[in-house]
Amino acid sequence: MESLIINDKIKKSRIPARLDLLQSGTGLILGLFMWVHMMLVGSIVLGKDAFNFVAKTMELSFLSSTGHGYPAAVFFAVLGVFTLFIIHAALGVRKFPISWKQHEIFRSQMGMMKHEDTNLWYIQVITAFIMFFLGSAHLFVMLTNPGQIDPYLSADRVISHNMWPLYLILLFAVELHGTIGLYRLCMKWGWFDKVRWFNENNRPGSRQYLKMLKKRLTIFFLALGLLALLVFSVIGIRHKDRVGERYNSGHSTVQTSVSVKTEALSEDNIDNAAMAEAISEENTDSTDAASVEKSTTTEEKAE
């Protein structure tokens, strides 16, 4: 009884709720970022030029006069994502089972309940554990090589630097974790509860609808990721004997040849101008000579 009275007097802390909010917020940003990331990386499916264009645009090449861009832009983007990733992971660790015993109790209750959303939570814990190591390794490589994203260098990384097993496992982990996370956020905060089209025409309730959406998004991004990984692998295998060589797109070749021609033309123009000057000087000289000759003849005639 005494302990109850003491507990009653303890002020309830708002910190756990705030940490939960922060975890949801960082999870939302990372989940949406991963969709954008997969679309950008997936541009390799459209060809090397498409991927190169995306990579150069991310380096803000359109802002630099040389067209080389600023790898620092990628560095700071990775740093931002890495920071969010660490904060999100640190907040998530609070909810991990902290001993094998706790884990076993959870597993046996999960088996008894046969509740799909509880199973999804378990998948999130396992994929989070995998991502903690593999995601950190990938982000560290990106952070330390920010100017090395182009179709050949990325494909070399996948094949010649043996990153493909890491990407394959990380792809499954991130796609499952991301879409389950976004689904759980929608359910937790009830974002779509009041959206009418989720329930009209005898559509299943929002939980079922969101689950269906989650499944489709997982399949879409997994298929895109696997296809991208396959294309990177083919390019990487073909490029094995030229590891480290940068991609020189057709576009930049055209640009180079155009600029070389323009330069040549302007050199020609300079030559022409020089020639024209020389001719005009010659003309002036001959005119001067003619006038001297003429005046001499006139003087001779006068005498």
Q: Does 225 bind ligand HEM (CB under 6 A)?
A: yes
Report in angstroms how near the CB of residue 181 gets to ligand HEM at its nearest: 12
Chain centroid to Cα 83, Å, comes to: 16
Q: Does 247 bind ligand HEM (CB under 6 A)?
A: no
The C-alpha atoms of residue 278 and residue 284 are separated, in whole angstroms, by: 10
Radius of gyration of the chain (CA): 34
Q: Does 171 bind ligand HEM (CB under 6 A)?
A: yes
Chain centroid to Cα 302, Å, comes to: 92
Q: Does 157 bind ligand HEM (CB under 6 A)?
A: yes
Report in angstroms how near the CB of residue 131 gets to ligand HEM at its nearest: 5
The C-alpha atoms of residue 137 and residue 129 are separated, in whole angstroms, by: 13
Q: Does 51 bind ligand HEM (CB under 6 A)?
A: no
In eight-state DSSP terms, residue 91 is: H
The one segment of 109-117, 166-174, 243-251, 268-276 that binds ligand HEM by CB under 6 A: 166-174
**Closest C-alpha among 60, 219, 231, 37 to residue 151:** 231
Tokens of 111: 């088996």
Q: Does 41 bind ligand HEM (CB under 6 A)?
A: yes
Which residues have CB under 8 Å from 170's CB, separation 6+?
A: 130, 131, 134, 135, 138
Residues 55-74 that bind ligand HEM (CB under 6 A): 74
Q: Does 179 bind ligand HEM (CB under 6 A)?
A: no
* Chain positions contacting ligand HEM, by CB under 6 A: 37, 41, 74, 77-78, 81, 85, 131, 135, 138-139, 142, 149, 154, 157-158, 163, 167, 170-171, 174, 225, 228-229, 232
